[in-house]
Structure 1
Amino acid sequence: MKKLIEQLTEGQRNEVKRQMAIYSQGVQEIIPTEELESKIARSIMENRPLKIKLGLDPSAPDVHLGHTVVLNKMRQFQENGHTIQLIIGDFTGKIGDPTGKSIARKQLTDEEVKHNAKTYFEQFAKVIDMDKVELHYNSAWLSKLNFEDVIQLAGKITVARLLERDDFEERMAFNKPISLHEFFYPLMQGYDSVMLECDIELGGTDQHFNILMGRHFQEKFGKEKQVALLMPLLEGLDGVEKMSKSKKNYIGIDESPTEMYGKAMSIPDGLMSKYFELITDFKPKEMKEIKGQLESGSLHPRDAKMLLAKTIVRMYHGANTAEKAEQHFISVFQQGAMPEDIPTITWDGESKVPLIDLLVKLQLLSSKSEARRMIENRGVKLNNIKAEDTKLEVTVSAGLIVQVGKRKFVKIITGE
């Protein structure tokens, strides 16, 4: 490594340092760091872009900010001229990644894979330049393997190594079944790296085992081993669980600007630095300044959160829209004004209805028990007046504005 660096000009050495600083920002683990630096140095010396791999099994096509942690890192590589290899697991997706699962995952059909992949492309285009991405479907090589090929591939890994995987180890401990086909998932993901001769593979820390399989099989097939860049998992708005749509603690990149801004303002103060680092497009120097100001107290947490919320909206909806979303938040949530663009719903039901039933029928809350709790917590307003009685009977008339929490508004239009 030292000899390679010595062959570079001063300008080239500075470029290696610059790229290393960018790629290291926010990363949980680089395996190994010195190999990444060496690959960047050779890339500069030979004027050859690195191949950066991201594998996807399109099982849940709704992209949220948690997914963009890896996408933003891909964008950084792309901005420096490196090649993004996006692998759609149309073959592996039919098996399902066992990561984090206590039971075998549902196997996807061809139609589900194609539909989900198309949705991914549309949403990824908001983060990376899809016109400059190499798209690969791993069925192109995996479906051509015959049984002898599969046996030879399986012979390059031990059962003991596969059982080191936390998911399998946990299932074994609790006598839960492991299907044989699940053992082949990490083998196939590793074989993807062999076929594409990837230099670097990106993923979350939960993909540690799968990504290291790429290094293992590249070595077994006589290839140069890829470097693993593992990104931390982003906690959701609750500040505890990993961001997930099922946990309802997410910010989707397709959400409306006002919804996105409002949700961002509920991010716990303790997570702001992490959000700035992982899901915004600030440069390392700018990030350092923001962190320093937060730690010294010169930047108020409220102001930092507004900057974060505005940045998130700007990245997915544009600067002008971000400005409007901020003004909307200030007028509605800080000054107590009613929003101008309240959605309307035509009411054809009874003129008098229990408040709990009204909230559920308007789809402002998903269940009567949830509606009852919201009323008890003083989170429901009728025409800007708090409703505190869970047994309240509401007279439904044209113009009635029902508000739940800080962001949900509905204006009633009667069917008469």
Structure 2
Amino acid sequence: MESAEASILLDELTRVTGREDPYSRYRQLREISPLVRADDGALVVTRHADCVAVTRDPRLGHMPPHMLEFVSPNWENHPALRHLFTSILTINPPDHTRLRRLVSSSFTARRVQALQPRITEMVDDLLDRMTGDVDFVEAFAFPLPVNVIGELLGIPEPDRAQFQGLVRDWTLVLETMTSDVLKIADPAAATIREYLAGLTAERRRKPADDMISALVAAEEDGEKLSEDELLTMAALLFAAGFETTTNLLANSVVALLRNPDQLALLRDDPGLAPSAVEELLRYDTPVQLLARVAWDDIELAGVPVSGGERIVAYLGAGNRDPERFPDPDHLDLTRQDNAPLSFGGGIHYCLGAPLARLEAQIALPALVNRFPKLDFAGDPGRRDSLAIRGYTTLPVSVS
């Protein structure tokens, strides 16, 4: 289970060069052992089957509050951590069950599908504005999802742009929780919460046809969201609603430009979009890993795991497992049975998955058809993160 080679590979993934190409390291880790122990004591799984087990096994969950103190002492005094550790992203049943039920009544499939004409309109408008050499992240990958989720939630359009930097700073805690990171993440989280508190108060006075108003009114079996739960939920939905989709769009464009035969397939057959988006999610997923804690003594990957041990599932590695996906390092938009691990699984399966898929299915065919000579106009600037994989800049030529 432990080896010096595995330790070196895991250490490389914390460095810029390792994050640039994590997939070759994942492959080597998988070949060493299905389960390896990191230097911090966490158990790491890289096979598809084991990643699925981690996301779905009810004996695995998130850290209970008493364990969080060991990870980050006084976490409740840090806005960035408090907003993370009290959200449905990281809490356990029964609180998770109650909150998810309440938000699901507002974040319905009908509400998402009703956005399709508006998303198409936004895509066309953004493409109309793109000429010559542009930064794809700035010109398209960020404004599309931030405006979609902003419109869904009811955040006024002039207020949306400020959140790109704020959310990026807040989500630094997904990578590490050092004091230096918290000095950046805490003010960002506090600013987001302060803004949403004002907007929520306004919606209480004057409800609108948006999701924040729906969350304010949401009720299930006589229970409603508390003010703290409402603000935490709104912050999570907004941040997750554009951060991961921005990275999905940018990662997809890079993958398509580096595989021009596949780009041509999508251009010639826009009907490939649903399969193409699944394959692009598998090939270079925006969310590379997730963590759980064993609540009981279990067996994982044929190895005994003690209750209380932390487990990290490398979803990006599972998406490249040859036991599940033949020739996994090859991008194939026509691949059958290519459902990725990218949105997690089990009770914590991503609420926003249908919306992210819909945006990409509309945007990517429109982009490659509008610009037949789409190409790189410079070197992409990668985000310095392993947990969230994406680009900060992506220069492209659309002339």
Please give the TM-score of this superposition, normalised by the length of structure 2. 0.27
Larger Rg: 1
Larger RCO: 1 or 2 (CA < 8 Å, sep 6+): 2
Q: What's the TM-score, normalizing by structure 1?
A: 0.26
* More helix per residue: 2
